[in-house]
Structure 1
Amino acid sequence: MTHLGFVATAYGLGIAVPLAFTLAAVARLRLATRRLAAIDPRQNRRLAHGGGE
């Protein structure tokens, strides 16, 4: 009796689950950045004046 299927599944899940969490976090970060840019007047002013302090 071989356990190769169980081991392969465990390794697959060990890669797939953190990858799914990472992709979800990146998507949420991009959405939050866009939403913040839409409501933050400081962001628009900084870009209009060439950035910097």
Structure 2
Amino acid sequence: MSLGPYASFVVTSYTLVAAIVLVLIVWIAVDYRHQKARLRELESSGVTRRSGRQATDI
């Protein structure tokens, strides 16, 4: 398979895009875990969500 004279550019571009997408996926997964832990911490300290209240609680 011949990619022509721009093969190094194409391969480098695809490699960089794949690496950036992988970094973003990892970043989102780590942030999700941190946010879930923070939410558990807040709920254990007594802070509740507004969406969890009943209309009669307001």
Whole-angstrom CA distance in 2 between matches of 1:26 and 1:10: 24
Moved over 3 A (4+): none
Q: What's the Cα RMSD here?
A: 1.5
2:18 counterpart (15, 20, 43):
15
Identity %: 24
- Structure 1 residues 14-53: aligned runs within 5 Å: 14-41=17-44
Count of residue pairs the alignment pairs up: 41
TM-score for both structures, normalised by structure 1: 0.66
Name the counterpart of 1:47: none
The answer to which structure, 1 or 2, has the higher relative contact order (CA under 8 A, 6+ apart) is: 1
Flag the structure with larger Rg.
2
TM-score for both structures, normalised by structure 2: 0.62
